[in-house]
Structure 1
Amino acid sequence: MTSMAQIAAFGGVILLGAMSPGPDFAVVVRRSAVSGRGHGMAAAAGIAVGVFAWVVAVATGIAALLAASAVVFTVVKVVGAAYLLYLGIKSLRAARRGGGTLSLDVPDPGGRGSWAAFVEGLLTNVLNPKAALFLIALVPQFLGSGASALMLSVVALAGTVAWFLVVANVVGALRKLFARPAVRRAVDGLTGIALIGLGIKLAASSRP
């Protein structure tokens, strides 16, 4: 397999991984629906940077500690699960407070701007050891055969951000629908339940 074919194959696997439902998807959808496509795109960028960082960590051997050490895995797992639970509870509280109308030119008052959305996306990905283990299993298969660590990192970043930018823009384009109080409460409520469920699932997971 040529280097370009390997890079294309790697990009395809990364894209499929990004498309699978999970906390990253939930965060981008909620940010886009409640705060607009700009905030959703910022969250998408944060997630992509997280994926980039994990690929670099795998390529340099740092991420191997996560796979080899039960203690490190448990620490990352517990912190990640706690963060997902925090986001889920925050969403449920927003759903409970819901009501009134949303001015489409005013950011979500709980969002603190695009930077907060970026950080939320970044932490959601970086604190998910399952994302790291997926890349630990994937990246070595493409290293050393003409594809450099830097190239794979860039491809991972580009593929991830491309998918989540599509999600952010599609949801953002429907923001007039999400501006309705009942719909906003439903989005916040469903997202909160999903994030709490994912947090519990992560907390209960064991190291492969």
Structure 2
Amino acid sequence: MDASIDWAAFAMVAGINLIAVLSPGPDFVITLRNALIHGVRAGLLTAVGIALGLSVHVLYTLAGLSLLIAQSVVLFSVVKLLGAAYLIWMGLQAIRARPRDPSADAAAGASGPDRRWRGGIVSGFLTNVLNPKAALYMLALFTQIIDPATSTLEKGLYGLTLMVESLLVFGLLALLIGQPAVRRAYGGAAHWIDRALGAVFIGLGVRLALARAAE
């Protein structure tokens, strides 16, 4: 088993991806927002959704489809505009935020746990999977270390590593930001922070909409 894995290449993949995950982007912002607004559980579920979205990118990159996305202007544009539209929609929803009633939030959490559960995973998944830059990142990363001789085991290890790193980093972010003490500290300015994060979402969406496949 050890002989079939290039551990130097594995270390390079893990290191590069950790730096990429730590760089603020749509995944970071959606985890931050969900943890601040809805608490640790919602933030952790968002991290799970991001990891699931990443698995989609990993699978089709290893299948060679990310090269098609990178080379097809039409396909790249479709995915890009879908992703940009989703981010801008999320931003507009956040900008419309109003001051929250803590008792109403508690009642909503008690009456709709399934909706909160799905919402965290879905928002994390869509934010990640609709980002074509993730496909190009995967393509650029994997073409440096994967060749015809790379074993299926090694490919699977690389993909699993990317997912686990994302889950751990965004899960830790959720654990830190979603703590009751942190949420209480920002409670009075919650809707203003929500609006600020909404502006960030819109900015990321516009930036994505203007992106070119070659970037």
- Taking structure 1 as the reference length, the TM-score comes to 0.90
Tell me the residue number matched to 1:73. Answer: 76
Match of 1:203 in 2: 209
How many residue pairs match? The answer is 203
The structure with the largest alpha-carbon Rg is 2
The aligned residue for residue 32 of structure 1 is 35
Map Cα deviations across residues 77-105 of structure 1 (whole Å, 9 max, x no partner).
Answer: 110000001100011112xx224336568
Residue 181 (str. 1) matches residue 188 (str. 2): yes
Q: Equivalents in 1 of 2:185, 2:165: separation in Å?
A: 28
Q: Distance between the aligned counterparts of 2:112 and 2:20, measured in 1? A: 29
Question: Relative to 1, partners in 2 of residues 1:109 and 1:40: Cα closer, same or farther, differing over 3 Å?
Answer: farther
SS of alignment partner, residue 207 of structure 1: coil
Matched with 1:98 is 99
Letter in 1 for 2:183: R
Residue 129 in 1 paired to residue 135 in 2? Answer: no
Query: Measured at CA, do residues 3 and 29 of structure 1 come closer, stay the same or move farther in structure 2, by a change above 3 Å?
Result: same
Aligned AA (2:73): A
| Residues in 2 aligned to 1:26 and 1:100: alpha-carbon distance in whole angstroms | 23
SS of equivalent residue, structure 1 residue 107: helix
Structure 2 CA distance for partners of 1:133 and 1:100, relative to 1, 3 Å: same
Distance in structure 2 (CA, Å) of the matches to 1:107 and 1:34? 11
Task: Supply the distance in 2 between the matched residues of 1:31 and 1:19 (Cα, whole angstroms).
Answer: 18
Give the CA deviation at 1:36. 0.3
What is the deviation of 1:47? 0.7
SS at match of 2:102: coil
Does structure 1 retain, via aligned residues, the 8 Å contact 2:71–2:213?
no
Whether contact under 8 Å (1:19, 1:163) holds in the other structure is yes
Q: 1:62 Cα shift?
A: 1.6
- Once residues 141 and 110 of structure 1 are traced to their aligned partners in structure 2, the CA distance between those partners, rounded to angstroms, is 46
Distance 1:131 1:169, change over 3 A: same
Question: Which amino acid is the alignment partner of residue 188 of structure 2?
Answer: P
CA–CA separation in structure 2 for the residues paired with 1:100 and 1:170 = 23
Which ranges in structure 1 are unaligned for 5 or more consecutive residues?
Answer: none
Q: Deviations over 1:8-35 (max 9, x none)?
A: 2211111111111111111000000000
Structural RMSD (CA): 2.2
Contact 2:31 2:124 in 1 (8 A): yes
- Higher mean C-alpha deviation, range 116-125 or range 45-54: 45-54
Amino acid at match of 1:46: G
Residue 198 of structure 1 aligns to a residue whose secondary structure is: helix
Whether contact under 8 Å (1:43, 1:120) holds in the other structure is yes
Change (3 A) 1:116 1:196: same
Higher share of residues assigned helix: 2
Instruction: Evaluate the alpha carbon distance shift between residue 189 and residue 109 of structure 1 in structure 2; reply closer, same or farther with a 3 A threshold.
Output: farther
Distance 1:143 1:194 in 2: 35
- Secondary structure, in 3 states, of the residue corresponding to 2:109? coil
Q: Does 1:8 align with 2:16?
A: no
**Percent identical across equivalent pairs?**
33
Q: Supply the distance in 2 between the matched residues of 1:5 and 1:171 (Cα, whole angstroms).
A: 34
Alignment correspondent of 2:141: 138
